[in-house]
Chain A
Amino acid sequence: HNRLPTNFCRSATMAAKKDETSKEEAAASDTSTPKSTEESKSVVTVPPLIAAGKRLERLLGGKKTAATSSGGAAAGATAQPHGLPGTGSAATLTSTVEAVLHSNPPKIVRRWLGTSSGAARDATLDDVVGAAGALLDPAGVAARGRDVLLALAPDAGISSDGAAAAAASGAMEVDGEEKKDGEEGGGEGPTRPVYLVAAAREVEAYLLSLAIRLLLAADDAHAVQKAWAVSGAALDILRGHMDAAARATARAGAAGALGGDSASAGGAGGGLGSKGLEPLLARLYRYRCLVAEKCVVDTEALRSELVAAHRLACLRRDVDTQSTVLNLLLRELLAADQVEQADKLLSNSTFPDSASNNQLCRYLYYSGRIQALRLEYTSAFSNLSQCLRKSPTNTGLGFRIATQRLLVVVQLLMGEIPERTVFLTEGMRTELNPYMKITQAVRRGDLAVFHDTVSAFADRFKEDGTYTLISRLAHSVVKAGLRRLNTSYSRISLPDVANRLGLPSVESAEFVVTKAVRDGVIDATIDRAGQYVQSHDLVDVYATTEPAEAFHRRIAYCLTMHNDAVRGMRYPPDAYKKQLEASRGIVPKDDEDKTDEELAQELEDEMDEEY
């Protein structure tokens, strides 16, 4: 039977088959679903942001709030139609599964962030403020964030009283379902809104980041200033939470351990570790730098802030923040054209291996750019091609275009001509057109034409930030031109060379050829008396070790790929068992089911791959 149905109604009945608590759950949801559908016809249904917050609460709450999860599941269920596809699978998780997942809060939060992106996309500032009013306890851990968000209410067009009222009414029917179970961390009587306990700080940070993003999107100076203030406040709040959590764990020792035990969550969420906040901290730093780019800001202060954040992240083994902040620092330095400083940062820091793929792509792009500016073309080339290979194919077209541009220029600087198909990729054709013209000019080997093309597209290159790199190409043009002449003529007069290459005089042509000979670009001798260049590279390249080297490079690459693939293979669990049992003649029984723990592990592994 279908274990992961997308239809949420079936999921409630499915869950009932599994175990005891779920029977109650089914009963609860069965009776409550008709009730909520009645209510949904008459009252406003739970907004997606609030539903997302409750979902995180459930995910992080673990065993203790399993009863809440039934109410939460129903609330989540009613909110399903509001554009949160594929979250039905989350609703089917049993409490034991939650316990397993709970052992890794950053992963939960990251996954939750991914699934809530649908809700976030459609949210407006009103929704954010409403959700803040509904979900965050004014007397609890998330009080400061709540105040900051509610202070944005005037911008959102609703008064803070209105926000509280909407929140209360929104929380009403949710509360009505939760009346069934008395075990609730923060909620009390039917008239008070139900606040989040376990997920309070995460949801607070999330709502703050949404608010910043919305203010940025508004795109006027006043909103940008506000966004700057909010981002500063948000970072303060979050850092305070993490420090408090660190201090609490230091005091409590093993009992209140990081990533913890929901039993210690009795301390109003203060016992829980700060690990779940890490993805959100990284996100907040990213938004802060985005805001900084839009408004005029003291770069020194921003840089020292980022450096301090990086140090803290390294100490706390916070991979997300470490990678994000490092990328932000590199971006900031490159934007200020401080190439030497960026290079020193690159050589003095390490990029964590377990960072997410997107951060890795960004890191590769920035390192490639820095190396290209510092004349280290081979390493730049390998970094940029790796970046292009690893970047996502369905989104981020702008990023891929930027990388491709830089890659083309680096190839030209190395003396290779990129293939024509590169310029004709879907969606990149118009963007890469100037670069195609430059490549053609380089291929022709005519300096005059090259200079003309460069001045024609100069503004475009300056915008792309590749102008300085392209102005270095004069040397490559000459090299390419000389090579062509050398292969096509066994003997050519010096004035002709000067003519073809667009060089100013015959004497400079002579010097240029001698330099090329010394650099190994061509193999020729000059006869000064006769004023001609005699080429003699009739050497059979297969008689040298060149082919062996070329083959070796390709073979090494293929073998590394093969080894990586073998290491990265994943087999469905127990796949070999079936074969083994079949070979031994044991017929598998049908109702021999796996235990819940194994199911949970399987689910986790599957979701791992998707992420």
Chain B
Amino acid sequence: PPPLFYLLLVPVTLPTMTDLSALLTDLTGRVDSGDVEGGKATLANLKIALLDADPTSDTTAQIATSALELGVLLSAADGDLDAFARNVSQLKPHYASASATAAASSRKNHIIGLNLMHLLVDNRLSEFHSELELLSTAEASSPEISFPIHLERQLMVGSYDEVLAAGSRVPHASYGLFMDHLLTTVRDNIADCLEVAYKTMTMDDAVRMMKFGSVAELQSYMEECRDDWIVEDGNRLCFAPPPTGRKADDIPSKKLISNTLTYAAELERIV
């Protein structure tokens, strides 16, 4: 007898263009209104529908691009960095192939800017710069993209105050997720710098430099991460003194010995 499961194969109707567009408008509506959960569900449906659609037509490509962009915005609003990275990597081939033909989508700069922020926060600087290479001059001067570029430059130079002040100048609310992460990284950096550069400091000054709200915040931060900072007189911070004195371990003896032996061997070879 023929296997029964053949009878269960229901012919699948390919989703039409109208189905896909309907799903897309639904998704757009949800993202605009800020409905994260519903948006995610619609996005999943749309992705499944796209799998069956005709991959070569232009409209499919456009719908896919828009869907993925909205997915990126959703994950940024949701704070889900993994989903964010996934959607961006799915989106990249679309941008690469569509560069010559289709019109650039209006959200492209926004998405690229968000991606740059993500790389910056993760400290993946080589990828950050490689991404910069791919941008044209017009794209690089748009506000969404010039924001991360300036941020990176300021971070490299070390003007942390400008970085922290930039939190108020974000071009779009979705950057907020990354700015928070950035703030914590910057604070750690400043703390490191303070340790090395100052001998002592008043608590108020420290609060101001690290852009905390109050002394209490500073103290909780210190308890968490910086227990080698000593508080004297209730007001002065004293950073742990660097280790002094020279020990025999300071001399890299093994390295010197190996170097000298190689010199001797090589010189011996010179006839």
Contact with A along B244-271 (1 / 0, CB 8 A): 0000000110001001000100100010
**Prevailing SS type, chain A contact patch:** helix
Binding-face segment, B4-12, B49-57, B107-115, B153-161 = B153-161
Contact with A along B143-179 (1 / 0, CB 8 A): 0000000000100111111100000000000000000
Instruction: Report yes or no: A515 in contact with B201, Cβ–Cβ below 8 A.
Output: no
Instruction: Report yes or no: A515 in contact with B158, Cβ–Cβ below 8 A.
Output: yes
- In Å, the complex CA distance between A598 and B189 comes to 72
- In Å, the complex CA distance between A376 and B199 comes to 35
B166 to chain A, nearest CB (A): 12
Instruction: Report yes or no: A552 in contact with B259, Cβ–Cβ below 8 A.
Output: yes
The answer, among A373, A475, A510, A555, for a CB contact under 8 Å with B130, is: A373
- Known A504-B162, A517-B197; contact A468-B129, beta-carbon cutoff 8 A: yes
A375 at the binding interface (Cβ < 8 Å):
yes
- In Å, the complex CA distance between A474 and B201 comes to 30
Contact with A along B205-217 (1 / 0, CB 8 A): 1000100000000
The answer, among B134, B160, B194, B266, for a CB contact under 8 Å with A337, is: B134
A512 at the binding interface (Cβ < 8 Å):
yes
Chain B neighbourhood of A545, CB < 8 A:
251-252
- Known A337-B134, A552-B259; contact A475-B157, beta-carbon cutoff 8 A: yes
Contact with B along A159-184 (1 / 0, CB 8 A): 00000000000000000000000000
B42 to chain A, nearest CB (A): 32
A339 at the binding interface (Cβ < 8 Å):
yes
- In Å, the complex CA distance between A478 and B192 comes to 19
Interface set, chain A 356-394, CB cutoff 8 A to B: 373-376
The residue on A at minimum CB distance from B164 is A511
B240 at the binding interface (Cβ < 8 Å):
no
The answer, among B127, B137, B194, B270, for a CB contact under 8 Å with A514, is: B194
B85 at the binding interface (Cβ < 8 Å):
no
The residue on B at minimum CB distance from A511 is B160
Chain B neighbourhood of A475, CB < 8 A:
153, 156-157
- In Å, the complex CA distance between A125 and B11 comes to 62
B234 to chain A, nearest CB (A): 18
Chain B neighbourhood of A474, CB < 8 A:
153, 156-157
- Known A337-B133, A525-B198, A528-B205; contact A505-B161, beta-carbon cutoff 8 A: yes
Chain A neighbourhood of B205, CB < 8 A:
528
Contact with A along B107-132 (1 / 0, CB 8 A): 00000000000000000011101101
Instruction: Report yes or no: B130 in contact with A340, Cβ–Cβ below 8 A.
Output: yes
The residue on B at minimum CB distance from A515 is B158
B196 at the binding interface (Cβ < 8 Å):
yes
Chain A neighbourhood of B159, CB < 8 A:
503-504, 508, 511-512
A526 at the binding interface (Cβ < 8 Å):
yes
B190 at the binding interface (Cβ < 8 Å):
yes
Chain A neighbourhood of B201, CB < 8 A:
528
- In Å, the complex CA distance between A340 and B202 comes to 47
Instruction: Report yes or no: B263 in contact with A555, Cβ–Cβ below 8 A.
Output: yes
Contact with A along B27-62 (1 / 0, CB 8 A): 000000000000000000000000000000000000
- Known A338-B134, A503-B159, A512-B157; contact A525-B126, beta-carbon cutoff 8 A: no
Instruction: Report yes or no: B161 in contact with A508, Cβ–Cβ below 8 A.
Output: yes
B193 at the binding interface (Cβ < 8 Å):
yes
- In Å, the complex CA distance between A516 and B196 comes to 10
Interface set, chain A 373-431, CB cutoff 8 A to B: 373-376
Instruction: Report yes or no: A373 in contact with B197, Cβ–Cβ below 8 A.
Output: no
A-B residue pair count with CB separations less than 8 angstroms = 97
Most A CB contacts (10 A, CB to CB) among B192, B194, B197 go to B197
Chain B neighbourhood of A484, CB < 8 A:
none
Interface set, chain B 77-117, CB cutoff 8 A to A: none
- In Å, the complex CA distance between A507 and B251 comes to 39
Interface set, chain A 4-24, CB cutoff 8 A to B: none
Chain A neighbourhood of B270, CB < 8 A:
562
Instruction: Report yes or no: A375 in contact with B266, Cβ–Cβ below 8 A.
Output: no
A518 at the binding interface (Cβ < 8 Å):
yes
A222 at the binding interface (Cβ < 8 Å):
no
Chain A neighbourhood of B162, CB < 8 A:
504, 508
A563 to chain B, nearest CB (A): 8
**Prevailing SS type, chain B contact patch:** helix
- In Å, the complex CA distance between A513 and B193 comes to 9
Most B CB contacts (10 A, CB to CB) among A338, A375, A528, A548 go to A528
The residue on A at minimum CB distance from B96 is A338
- In Å, the complex CA distance between A374 and B133 comes to 10
Instruction: Report yes or no: A375 in contact with B129, Cβ–Cβ below 8 A.
Output: yes
Instruction: Report yes or no: A525 in contact with B157, Cβ–Cβ below 8 A.
Output: no
The residue on A at minimum CB distance from B193 is A514
- In Å, the complex CA distance between A376 and B126 comes to 8
Contact with B along A222-253 (1 / 0, CB 8 A): 00000000000000000000000000000000
Instruction: Report yes or no: B192 in contact with A518, Cβ–Cβ below 8 A.
Output: yes
A254 at the binding interface (Cβ < 8 Å):
no
Chain A neighbourhood of B127, CB < 8 A:
340
Instruction: Report yes or no: B197 in contact with A525, Cβ–Cβ below 8 A.
Output: yes
The residue on A at minimum CB distance from B127 is A340
Chain B neighbourhood of A528, CB < 8 A:
198, 201-202, 205
Most A CB contacts (10 A, CB to CB) among B137, B160, B189, B252 go to B160
A139 at the binding interface (Cβ < 8 Å):
no
A558 to chain B, nearest CB (A): 9
- In Å, the complex CA distance between A513 and B198 comes to 11
The answer, among B130, B158, B202, for a CB contact under 8 Å with A339, is: B130
B187 to chain A, nearest CB (A): 12
A524 at the binding interface (Cβ < 8 Å):
yes
- Known A475-B156, A552-B259; contact A515-B193, beta-carbon cutoff 8 A: yes
Chain A neighbourhood of B161, CB < 8 A:
505, 507-508, 511
The residue on B at minimum CB distance from A523 is B196
Instruction: Report yes or no: B193 in contact with A559, Cβ–Cβ below 8 A.
Output: no
A294 at the binding interface (Cβ < 8 Å):
no
A347 to chain B, nearest CB (A): 13
Chain A neighbourhood of B198, CB < 8 A:
514, 525-526, 528
Chain A neighbourhood of B263, CB < 8 A:
555, 559
Instruction: Report yes or no: A339 in contact with B259, Cβ–Cβ below 8 A.
Output: no
The residue on B at minimum CB distance from A374 is B126
Chain A neighbourhood of B199, CB < 8 A:
525
The residue on B at minimum CB distance from A334 is B133
A316 at the binding interface (Cβ < 8 Å):
no
- In Å, the complex CA distance between A462 and B157 comes to 23
- In Å, the complex CA distance between A373 and B132 comes to 10
Interface set, chain A 548-562, CB cutoff 8 A to B: 548, 552, 555, 559, 562
The residue on A at minimum CB distance from B206 is A528
The answer, among A468, A478, A503, A517, for a CB contact under 8 Å with B132, is: A468
Instruction: Report yes or no: B196 in contact with A517, Cβ–Cβ below 8 A.
Output: yes
B85 to chain A, nearest CB (A): 15
The residue on B at minimum CB distance from A342 is B130
Most A CB contacts (10 A, CB to CB) among B157, B193, B251 go to B157
Interchain residue pairs with CB less than 8 A apart (16): A337-B133, A343-B130, A373-B130, A375-B126, A375-B129, A376-B126, A468-B132, A472-B156, A504-B162, A507-B161, A508-B159, A508-B160, A513-B197, A515-B189, A518-B197, A525-B197
CB-CB nearest 7 A-B residue pairs: A515-B158, A514-B193, A508-B159, A514-B197, A339-B130, A374-B126, A512-B158
Beyond contacts A374-B126, A514-B196: 6 other A-B pairs, Cβ-Cβ < 8 A, are A373-B130, A511-B158, A511-B190, A514-B190, A528-B198, A528-B205
